[in-house]
Amino acid sequence: MSYRVDRVNEEIKKELSRLIREEINDYRIKDKMISIVGVDCSADFKYAKVYISMIEGKQARDEAAAALNNAKGFLRKELGKVLKTYNTPQITFISDDTLEYGMKINELLKNIDKK
């Protein structure tokens, strides 16, 4: 992957985090801690997969992904104002369980230390 794609991925991640926190008023994501784990943008910047995670669990994470996918038109428009690319990517939000998985591994490691 090129350096430019990595920079754009980070810019998308930063801007989407701000937009979700400040601009989205959907009850499924308002006042919830949504983490954008990663952004995977295509080389031509036409498509971007955005991986989100939440501590609240799978059901809340899936609801948040659905709410964000419903708002992706607004988010794409706002993202287009900030990005300095020819194309503004079509965004797809994907529920990701890396935070839960990491917490589970951490608990297993703590249990090993106790034994």
Quick: pLDDT tens for 54-99. 888 888 888 889 999 999 999 999 998 888 888 889 999 998 887 7
91 SS3 class: strand
Domain that holds residue 90: 3-114
Quick: pLDDT tens for 33-61. 888 999 999 988 899 999 998 888 888 88
Q: Residue 15 contacts by C-beta under 8 Å, 6 or more apart in sequence?
A: 78, 79, 82, 83
Nearest to 87 by CA among 27, 24, 4: 4
Domain count across the chain: 1
The answer, yes or no, to whether residue 114 has pLDDT greater than 80, is no
Domain CATH number, residue 30: 3.30.300.20
Residue 36's DSSP bridge partners are 52
